[in-house]
A and B are shown apart, each in its own frame.
Chain A
Amino acid sequence: MHDFLDNYIRFLTSLSFNHFVRLFWFYIFFEFARYFVLEFIILNFVMLRKYFERDKYKKAKKDLFFEYPLISILVPGKNEGKHLYKLVNSLSEQTYQNIEIIVVDDGSDDDTPIIGKSLEKAGKIDTFLRNEVRGGKASGANLAFRYAKGKFIVHLDADCSYDRDAIEQIIIPFYMDDNIGGVGGNVMVRNYKESLATTLQTIEYYDTISIGRMVTSHLGWYRVISGAFGAFKKDILDNIGGWDIGPGLDGDITVKVRKLGYKIHFADEAVCLTSVPRNFKILAKQRLRWDKSIVRFRVRKHRDVMYPNQHFKFSGFFSFVENIMFSIILNVKWYFYLGDMLYNFPSAWLAIFFTNILLYTGTNYLKYILYSLYRKRKNAPMSYFLIYIPCMVIYFGFYMRVVRTIAHIQEFLFKKSYEDPWNPLKTSQHAKKMGL
């Protein structure tokens, strides 16, 4: 141990600037530059813009309440009955009340039909629809959408709950900019104390959703309106025919809205609380699904956003490139970096590895503390997470990277997303045949 420390100090003191850049290029150019420096700069722009647009925001809010349009809230799902009461309770508390709640039970085999029907009878749900045969999340959402009467459509997950002003906050952006076609809500973790997995996901959500989406939204690159909380203009959804077959249907519909020329906006003050997977095994399954869908939808189905045709939009192009770049290419580059270090600096790999850990951990602390100042809405004490920050290197740097690699291999080589039981085979096989 003593020898290691001696060697390590010697290694650090011998590092020149050029040497440092050569050894930690991956960290410097990708992780630090993209995920901290650029993000931090943009974040300040976001805040400035919010400040300067505060009157516009107030007017939009006034316009919303003056027009007071009907908002259709769609809640498709299977076996979600146990969550419904809590969900409708949080919706009944909303500051915006001209809403219709349409719940679709997609072939549940538990008590969901009984619970749904009784809530409909009690007037807590406006319409409860049941498909006796499961058709998948998209078919559930489309059925609800078919009978929605509102000017705006809000898509929710049944296992989430919402801040009192969440519906109001997610609709206001539509009144700030007519060209906004879809708005994503800010998804936070409810069960952050349940396990190490949920705690680490909470830190991840703070970073990638609460802050990350503010940045990508500002740049016009915001790419996934979360299915847990997203809003759309109804006429736009009419135009694109609702949701296509999943998994990954929330990202898919976001691209489709963007392709029509509409902007996608992130409403950081429209807060939704969700329960995240409580162990790493379930989390891996979820992330495999998400990462496979990036390949399926970004690289295959919607690759046309790259082509310079009449529908070409720079925002769509950059959103696509950013997504491909940092989700897929960066992942490959990381392996390239690993190979580079092991091949060219085999004797110093331990010191490089250790330094990388220190660099990442330091950055994570810096980001966490700095970004906390920018987050208006906090659902957990900031100090609670401080001791878990060092784990994020393992979580992001290794666990997530391995999961992502497996997902990309499975999807690139075997198109595994079409076999995902999350979607019924009867629809997936058609999607596969048609390249959807």
Chain B
Amino acid sequence: MSRIEENIEHLDGSIKFEGISFLLIEHLDSLRVDEAQFHEAVIIDGKDESFVRQIVKRIRSHAKPEVYLKPIFLLKGVNIIDPLVNQLIDGSLYSLEQIPYIKDEVEKLLASIKEIQFSRAISFEAQMIVKMISFLHSRHKTLLEPIPYAYSDVNYTYPCLSVNFNHTEEFAVFDILDQAVYDGIFTAEFVDRIYLCSQCSNGRMSYREVCPKCNSSNSSTDDIVHHFPCGFVGPMSDFKNEIDDELDCPKCNKRLRHIGVDYDKPSVIHTCLNCSHKFQDYFVKAKCLTCSHDNSVEQLKTKQINRYTLTQKGVYAALNGYVSTSKDIDEIIGTVKYDTFRTMLKYEIERLKQTDGSSNICAIHINNPNEIYSSIGSEAQQGMLKDVVRIIRSNIRSADVIAFQDSSTIVLSMYEIPKKIANRILDEIINILERLMKTAFKGVQIEFVTNVIKLEQTISHELHLHNLTKDFT
């Protein structure tokens, strides 16, 4: 055994080498993605492509930078050709013995990640932009290239952004990228144009030539024949006789001899076998393979596919973690800034050390923000959050404070009351919120999850907040 191999320490589900801990993921069911944050890097056993894709997507789409920026390496069992995976991993190795060779790379990545400061962006767009640029910057990339991708519903993927969306809502990446360009984070350069379903914005379509009258694609085609001597014009079938293969004019009974001399074929005609309509030009229809809507090609939504380059402003934003977009949520009346909330929490814990009171902090988290915000849009998103705050505010005491941790997580204080009552109040709030959302956003299923923790005098305010939201994905 070489000296290097001696230094590789195999633990349960992880490997340690010279102080660097690698989370080793071998099975899908063994993964708790959150665990990644307690290791310096992740190694995925690449036994099959779909397994690798799932793991990579779960890590890179995680809400916490401690997880989504984690260096990922692939232990190559099979050759992975999925471009999304290849773009989102940081390297590969053929056996665990090669870990020492990736050590430098891991350290470099960790150093880059460490440079990045994170502030809580409230708007969904801003959060996505932060994720995207912090990933690019940590990988020393300035170019965001679109990649033609078979698994994408919009035909192209921007790996570090598209990974945050499931395939049915992938078109939302365009709005976010447009926003980033508008805010000066990226510059855009044309690459291609795609066509999306007018109903569901999906790009997977079946293009067919159909009858202009009934939209059936069941048709036959015949040449039009013009007989010069008598001027008769009709489909080839009119000229075919039943006795031999010769062509005879049905008007003057003359035999057609020589194309260009006594007859020609000036055009073709299609006959719809469904409705018998005769026509010369098919309509082209695009049937959406997701929602089955039959679009005429003129109806299709077009979207420009660009190559994006990070600007200096983008680099600065990535380093300082501050992204404020024009779609950012303004301070919502009834809330305080998250930093203020933290400071107040710190003082409350200090106060509890002097008294014997019982105080709590609570969190309300929207479990499926990507799905909701991409379907309702940013205007409605602001309205929805204002409604949520208004309802919470009307159900808690005026001394308690509310703050946004991000666009999907609201934290609030419930000081000086027992945890049991805090739980009850929170249940009541969720009950009202669910009823309101059902009425206001029909067809959108909003999932709320909550947590209440009692403040402990011995635990720091940072750990309280971590514990409060650690189970939210």
Measured in the bound complex, the distance between the Cα atoms of B210 and A121 in whole Å is 13
Chain B residue nearest to A144 in the complex (CB): B233
- Number of CB contacts from chain A to chain B under 8 A: 82
Given A121-B212, A143-B224, A241 and B266 contact (CB-CB distance below 8 Å): no
- Which residue from A127, A147, A242, A430 sits with its C-beta under 8 Å from B228? A430
Given A129-B269, A139-B233, A142-B233, the answer on whether A242 and B251 have CB atoms closer than 8 Å is: yes
In chain A between 106 and 140, which residues have their CB closer than 8 angstroms to a CB of chain B? 107, 117, 120-121, 127-136, 138-140
CB of B226 within 8 A of CB of A135, answer yes
* Interface residues as binary, B246-277 with A (CB distance below 8 Å gives 1, 0 otherwise): 00001110000000101010110100000000
Is B280's CB under 8 angstroms from A129's CB? yes
Residues from 203 to 256 in B contacting A, C-beta threshold 8 Å: 212, 224, 226, 228-235, 238, 250-252
B281, A146: Cβ atoms under 8 Å?
no
Q: Which of A138, A147, A243, A244: most chain B Cβ within 10 A?
A: A147
Do A243 and B231 have beta carbons less than 8 Å apart?
Answer: yes
Q: State how many angstroms separate the Cβ of A149 from the closest Cβ of chain B.
A: 10
Interface residues of B in 299-329 (CB under 8 A from A): none
CA distance A120 to B212 in the complex (A): 9
- Which chain A positions have C-beta within 8 A of B251? 241-242
Contact A132 B266 (CB under 8 A): yes
Any A CB within 8 A of the CB of B279: yes
> Which A residues, 139 to 162, have Cβ-Cβ distances below 8 Å to chain B?
139-140, 142-143, 146-147
Using known A-B contacts A128-B280, A130-B280, determine if residue A135 contacts B229 with beta carbons closer than 8 Å: no
Instruction: Determine whether the beta carbon of B278 is less than 8 Å from that of A147.
Output: yes
Residue in chain A with minimal CB distance to B250 = A241
Write the nearest CB–CB distance from A134 to chain B, whole angstroms.
Answer: 8
- How far is A140 from B281 in the complex, measured between Cα atoms in Å? 17
Partner of B229, one of A130, A143, A436: A436
Do A241 and B226 have beta carbons less than 8 Å apart?
Answer: no
Asked whether any CB of chain B lies closer than 8 Å to the CB of A373, the reply is: no
Query: How far is B230's CA from A358's CA once the two chains are assembled, in angstroms?
Result: 49
Q: Residues of A contacting B231 with CB < 8 Å?
A: 135-136, 138-139, 142, 242-245, 427
The answer to whether B233 and A132 touch across the interface, beta carbons within 8 angstroms, is: no
| A1 interface hit (Cβ, 8 Å) | no
Point out the residue from A120, A130, A139, A244 that lies within 8 Å of B226, measured CB to CB. Answer: A139
Docked-complex contact A135 and B232, CB < 8 angstroms: no
Which residues from chain B contact A120 at a C-beta distance below 8 Å?
A: 212, 281
Residues of A within 8 A of B281 (CB): 117, 120, 128
Question: Once bound together, how far apart are the Cα atoms of A117 and B279, in whole Å?
Answer: 10
Contact yes or no, A131 B224, CB < 8 A = yes
Given A127-B278, A131-B224, A143-B224, A244:B230 Cβ within 8 A = yes
List the A residue with the shortest CB-CB distance to B262. A430
Q: Kindly provide the distance from the CB of B463 to the nearest chain A CB, expressed in whole angstroms.
A: 67
Binary contact readout A397-436 vs B (1 if CB under 8 angstroms, 0 otherwise): 0000000000000000000000000000011001101101
Q: A107: which B residues are within 8 A, CB to CB?
A: 266
Chain A residues with CB under 8 A of B212: 120-121
Q: Which residues of B contact A243 (CB under 8 A)?
A: 231
Q: A135: which B residues are within 8 A, CB to CB?
A: 226, 231, 233, 264, 266
- Contact status A133-B229, CB under 8 Å: no
Closest to A146 in B: B234
Which of A132, A134, A433 is most buried by chain B, counting CB atoms within 10 A of its CB?
Answer: A132
Say yes or no: A142 contacts B266, CB within 8 Å: no
Which residue of B is nearest A426, CB measured?
A: B228
> CA of A431 to CA of B229 in the docked complex: distance in angstroms?
6
Bound CA span A238–B250, Å: 11
Give A140 to B226 CA distance when docked, in angstroms: 10
In the complex, the chain A residue whose C-beta lies closest to that of B260 is A426
Taking a contact as CB atoms under 8 Å apart, the answer to whether A143 and B228 are in contact is: no
In chain A, what residue has the closest Cβ to B213?
A: A126
- B209 to chain A minimum Cβ distance, whole angstroms, is 14
Which chain B residues border A427 with CB–CB below 8 Å? 228-229, 231
Across-interface contacts of A138 in B (CB, < 8 A)? 231
A263: min CB distance to chain B, Å:
24
How many Å from the CB of A247 to the closest CB on chain B? Answer: 12
Q: Are B278 and A143 in contact (CB under 8 A)?
A: no
- Complexed CA–CA distance, A108 and B205 (Å): 35
When distances are taken between beta carbons in the complex, the residues of chain A under 8 Å from B262 are: 430
Contact residues in A for B252 (Cβ distance below 8 Å): 241
Instruction: Say whether B264 contacts A133, CB under 8 Å.
Output: yes
Closest-CB distance, B280 to chain A (whole angstroms): 6
Q: Is the CB of A127 within 8 A of B279?
A: yes
Q: CB within 8 A of B267: which of A132, A426, A431?
A: A132
Contacts of A143 in B (CB 8 A): 224, 226, 233-234
Residue-wise interface mask of A (241-258) relative to B, using a CB-CB cutoff of 8 A (1 in contact, 0 not): 111110000000000000
| Cβ–Cβ < 8 Å partners of A434 in chain B | 229
Residues of A within 8 Å of B283, CB to CB, are 121
- Give the Cβ gap from B403 to chain A, nearest Cβ, in Å: 57
Q: Output the least CB separation between B352 and chain A (Å).
A: 75
Chain A nearest CB, measured from B297 CB (Å) = 12
Query: Quick one: closest B residue to A425, CB to CB?
Result: B228
Whether A146 pairs with B233 at a CB distance below 8 angstroms is yes
Complex Cα distance, B267 from A117, in Å, reads 15
* Minimal beta-carbon separation of A259 from chain B (angstroms): 16
A433 to B267 alpha-carbon distance, docked (Å): 26
- Contact mask B145-165 → A, CB, 8 Å, 1/0? 000000000000000000000
A1 to B96, CA, bound (A): 127
Binary contact track B50-86/A, C-beta < 8 Å → 1, others 0: 0000000000000000000000000000000000000
Q: Mark A212-256, 1 if CB is under 8 A from B, else 0.
A: 000000000000000000000000000001111100000000000
Residue of B nearest to A431 (CB): B229
Q: Are B230 and A130 neighbours in the complex by a CB distance under 8 Å?
A: no
Complex-state Cα separation, A129 to B267, whole angstroms: 9
B234 CB contacts on chain A under 8 angstroms: 142-143, 146
- Specify which chain A residues have a CB less than 8 angstroms from the CB of B267 in the assembled complex: 129-133
Q: Which partner residue on chain B sits nearest A136 by CB separation?
A: B231
Q: Which residues of B contact A241 (CB under 8 A)?
A: 230, 232, 250-252
Q: How far is the CA of A426 from the CA of B233 in the complex (A)?
A: 14
Residue of B nearest to A429 (CB): B228
The A-contacting residues of B in range 190-204, CB under 8 angstroms, are none
A128–B251 alpha-carbon span in the complex (Å): 23
Cα distance, A244 to B228, chains bound together (Å): 10
Interface string of A301-312 (1 = CB under 8 A from B): 000000000000
Residue in chain B with minimal CB distance to A246: B231
Alpha-carbon distance A96/B229, docked complex (angstroms)? 37
| Chain B residues with CB below 8 A from A117, complex form | 281
Q: Can you name the residue of chain A whose Cβ is closest to the Cβ of B268?
A: A132
Are A242 and B232 in contact, CB atoms less than 8 angstroms apart? yes
Least CB separation from B231: chain A residue: A138
Which residues from B are CB-within-8-Å of A245? 228-231
A241 to B238 Cα, complex, angstroms: 12
Please, how many angstroms separate the alpha-carbon atoms of A134 and B228 in the complex? 11
**Which residues 156-180 of A have a CB within 8 angstroms of B?**
none
The 9 A-B residue pairs with the shortest CB-CB distance in the complex, in nearest-first order: A241-B251, A131-B266, A138-B231, A430-B229, A143-B233, A133-B266, A142-B233, A427-B228, A146-B234
> What residues make up the interface of B, taking CB atoms closer than 8 Å to A?
212, 224, 226, 228-235, 238, 250-252, 260, 262, 264, 266-267, 269, 278-281, 283
| 25 A-B residue pairs with CB within 8 Å | A107-B266, A127-B279, A128-B281, A129-B269, A132-B266, A135-B226, A135-B266, A136-B231, A142-B231, A142-B232, A142-B233, A143-B226, A143-B233, A146-B234, A241-B251, A242-B231, A244-B230, A245-B231, A426-B260, A427-B229, A427-B231, A430-B229, A430-B262, A431-B229, A436-B230
Q: Please give 14 more A-B residue pairs, beta carbons under 8 A apart, in addition to A117-B281, A127-B279, A431-B229.
A: A120-B281, A121-B212, A128-B280, A131-B267, A133-B264, A134-B266, A135-B264, A143-B234, A146-B234, A147-B269, A241-B250, A245-B228, A427-B231, A433-B229
